[in-house]
Amino acid sequence: MEDGVETFHEHDVTVGDGPLAVPGTLTLPDGAGPWPGVVLLSGGGPFDRDETSGPNKPFKDIAWGLARRGVAVLRFDKVTFAHPQNPVATMTEEYVPHAVAAVTLLQDQPGVDPARVFVLGHSMGGKVAPRVAAAEPSVAGLVIMAGDTQPMQHAAIRVIGHLASLDPSPAAQAAVEQITRQAAVVDGPGLTPETPAEDLLFGLPASYWLDLRAYDPVAEASALDVPMLILQGGRDYQVTIADDLAGWEAGLGHRANVTIRVYEAADHLFFAGDGPSTPADYLKAQHVDPAVISDIADWLITR
């Protein structure tokens, strides 16, 4: 709310068609436009359109905050959330078809400037955002929030080791050993489409890992001639400055149309806080730092 009066309105939409279409929400500023628009892509896993994490809804925060500042927003349930009975084979299949359909849908909305529709991806959504823009050349630019560049199997070892150090126990050590063993299979030369999913991280099929192994998000982004805003939380233990942001900086930091910002107090969900971030933090009701949303809005509006 601003002064007790909302400055935007929402309605439900359907993204994609056929049996794997998913529900979404279109958030539009009041007035006639023309507005820039942005499609939101959530992180890895079966997230709903709000990227609900415990009591928190970071994508709802972002959508409402941007719409109040004059940006049209489309967010949608991931196919893995809306259709859990239909497992996806690759990261590309998990994200790209619905993301491209969402861009087209947003471009067709009255009041939206079709030449200024962007993609905002968080976590794995940020990692895959360059692939979406490569698939849909009309994407005007990218906002990458805590996008990982380190191979996910390596990040899994790092994260599980960090969590085990916070709460050492035989169970934690067993988890470290299991993740390390599964990551070695993902990394190994013996990974084939026939490798059983139970031997691999997170129960994802071999096809998913083969697609990930062949994908370099920084190289994909470097091949694009669109502006990018890359945001990173200083307290993020899942996607870190040293292990992930360094990749974006090395590949894109020299480009005039790339802006990189670090929010020292922010965790992975861009909640501001103090001290080391832990999984328990996500279970406390919080909101995305308004300064982050304001910076994203300013960047989108001025492109």
- Sign of the Cα torsion 65, 73, 50, 248 reads negative
In a domain, 177, yes or no: no
pTM, two decimal places: 0.96
Q: Where are the beta strands (DSSP E) in 100-219?
A: 112-122, 142-145
Domain extent at residue 112 = 8-150+216-301
Q: Residue 119 in contact with residue 39, Cβ under 8 Å?
A: yes
Q: Look at residue 302 and tell me whether its pLDDT is greater than 80.
A: yes
In a domain, 228, yes or no: yes
CATH code, domain carrying 228 = 3.40.50.1820
Cis before 34? omega within 30: yes
In a domain, 51, yes or no: yes
Q: Look at residue 87 and tell me whether its pLDDT is greater than 90.
A: no
Burial (0-12, 13-18, 19+ Cβ within 10 Å), 157: middle
- Please state, in angstroms and as integers, the Cα–Cα distance from residue 146 to each residue in 36, 186, 187, following that order: 22, 23, 23
Question: In angstroms, rounded to a whole number, what is the distance separating the alpha carbons of residues 266 and 281?
Answer: 12
What phi and psi, each to the nearest 5 degrees, are found at residue 227? -70, 150
Q: Which tens digit of pLDDT belongs to each residue from 109-136?
A: 999 999 999 999 999 999 999 999 999 9
Write out the two tokens for 35.
């507005």
Q: Look at residue 1 and tell me whether its pLDDT is greater than 70.
A: no
Q: What are the beta bridge partners of residue 28?
A: 9
Place of tokens 């709903």: 48
In a domain, 82, yes or no: yes
pLDDT cut 90: percent of the chain above it: 96
Q: Look at residue 2 and tell me whether its pLDDT is greater than 90.
A: no
In a domain, 115, yes or no: yes
In a domain, 197, yes or no: no
In a domain, 210, yes or no: no
Q: Which tens digit of pLDDT belongs to each residue from 246-290?
A: 999 999 999 999 999 999 999 999 999 999 999 999 999 999 999
Domain count of the fold of the chain:
1
In a domain, 158, yes or no: no
Q: Which tens digit of pLDDT belongs to each residue from 142-193?
A: 999 999 999 999 999 999 999 999 889 999 999 999 999 999 999 999 999 9
Cβ burial 109-137 (10 Å sphere, 16+ → b, else e): beebeeebbbbbbbbbbbbbbbbbbeebe
As annotated, the active-site residues are: 123, 236, 268
- Of 16, 37, 12, which is closest to residue 24 (Cα–Cα)? 12
- Please state, in angstroms and as integers, the Cα–Cα distance from residue 255 to each residue in 18, 72, 138, 249, 251, following that order: 40, 27, 20, 10, 9
Q: Which tens digit of pLDDT belongs to each residue from 215-240?
A: 999 999 999 999 999 999 999 999 99
Q: Which tens digit of pLDDT belongs to each residue from 51-69?
A: 999 999 999 999 999 999 9
Instruction: List the end-to-end C-alpha distance of the chain, in Å, as a whole number.
Output: 26
CA atoms within 13 A on the CB side of 189: 0
